[in-house]
Amino acid sequence: MARERLASKKQGRPVRGGRNRVRRPDASSPWAVVGATAKRRENIASDWGKVENGTMAIRLYCFGESGNAYKAALSLELAGLDWEPVFVDFFHSETRKPAFRALNPMGEVPVMVEDEIVLTQSGVIQDYVAETSGKLGWKDAAERREILRWILFDNHKNSGVAGPARFNMNFLPSYKRSDAVNAFLIARHTAAMTVLDRCLEGRDWLVGERPTIADIANCGYLFYEEPFGFDRKDFSNIDAWLDRIAALPGWKHPYELMPGSPADRA
Ligand SMILES: N[C@@H](CCC(=O)N[C@@H](CS)C(=O)NCC(=O)O)C(=O)O
């Protein structure tokens, strides 16, 4: 889409307000077909989760336990964009069902939909949020690359390891858990946290002098209370940096920002 068109769409956006009611997915719907064409995906995306009072906010397909979705949700929220969460029932295998696979063949949340734009991968959504809102982004091309560098670090060494460690240790049925696998993941994640802590020495934010989507990516899993071998008190720079993030206007804990939490399954 041409940038001017996008810009004019943004001007027409409703201001952020109360949460609207959104449609729930219907896996039995005839349009829910695996291997849908790109056009079909757009149609699906524009139907599933449509805001019922007619307001078209950005829709983020997410659930509270997902730190990957939290990166996208917190970026949208801190950037002040108008968005709506659409609950994906991950714990009842919704990401494996045809309706969801038609929306994202990768079978993962988060998915962001704005009109005909369908984005997946938290880093891509964050990049879109920064670019379209002008918030949490870069001043120049060098900063943009530095932000990308930290997002890739997060996806590979931080969230990409913390996510499975936390899932295995808290949400996997106990008979499927492996101490050896968890020990391996915790060791990998602790090494990444040591790197992150050193890089935060003497600085408030990962890139430049202000919070960016690089910070939001790397904190994706670090506010959750469920144990996964990470204790922020072991890393003084990370601890102080998480306090700075939590003090940003509009910050919310993942279970406040997105629908779904372990309490629902208790
Ligand atoms: N690199 C992806 C990772 C996304 C991801 O792993 N999402 C998990 C939830 S936290 C998921 O939807 N998994 C579905 C599944 O494994 O079936 C991103 O950053 O968006």
Residue 29 has what DSSP assignment?
S
155: left (phi over 0), alpha (psi -120 to 50) or beta: alpha
Ligand 1 pocket test: pick from 71, 75, 89, 109 the residue with the most ligand atoms within 8 Å of its Cβ.
Answer: 109
CA-closest residue to ligand 1 atom 2: 121
Ligand 1 pocket test: pick from 62, 66, 68 the residue with the most ligand atoms within 8 Å of its Cβ.
Answer: 68
Q: Check if 218 has its Cβ closer than 6 Å to any atom of ligand 1.
A: no
- The stretch 67-75 carries a mean pLDDT of 98
pLDDT tens-digit series, residues 83-114? 999 999 999 999 999 999 999 999 999 999 99
The CATH code belonging to domain 141-249 is 1.20.1050.10
- Spatial separation of the C-alpha atoms in residues 174 and 20, rounded to whole Å: 37
- The stretch 197-204 carries a mean pLDDT of 98
- The stretch 51-75 carries a mean pLDDT of 87
CA proximity to 106, closest of 94, 92, 118, 120: 120
pLDDT tens-digit series, residues 141-155? 999 999 999 999 999
Ligand 1 pocket test: pick from 108, 109, 168, 261 the residue with the most ligand atoms within 8 Å of its Cβ.
Answer: 108
pLDDT at 20 over 50: no
Q: Check if 155 has its Cβ closer than 6 Å to any atom of ligand 1.
A: yes
3-state SS class at 110: coil
- Of 29-43, 98-112, 183-197, the poorest mean pLDDT is in 29-43
- Using 50, 70 and 90 to split pLDDT, how confident is the model at 266? confident
Q: What does the domain layout of the chain look like in residue ranges?
A: 3-133, 141-249
Question: To the nearest whole number, what is the mean pLDDT of the chain?
Answer: 86
Q: Check if 94 has its Cβ closer than 6 Å to any atom of ligand 1.
A: no
* Ligand 1 atom nearest residue 88's Cα: 12
Rg of the chain over all Cα atoms, to the nearest angstrom: 19
Query: So what's the pLDDT on residue 41?
Result: 59
189-224 exposure pattern, b = at least 16 Cβ within 10 A, e = fewer? beebbeebbeebeeeeebbbeebbbbbbbbbbbbbb
- Using 50, 70 and 90 to split pLDDT, how confident is the model at 43? low
* Ligand 1 atom nearest residue 93's Cα: 17
- Using 50, 70 and 90 to split pLDDT, how confident is the model at 38? low
Q: Check if 22 has its Cβ closer than 6 Å to any atom of ligand 1.
A: no
Topology given in CATH for the domain delimited by 3-133? Glutaredoxin (3.40.30)
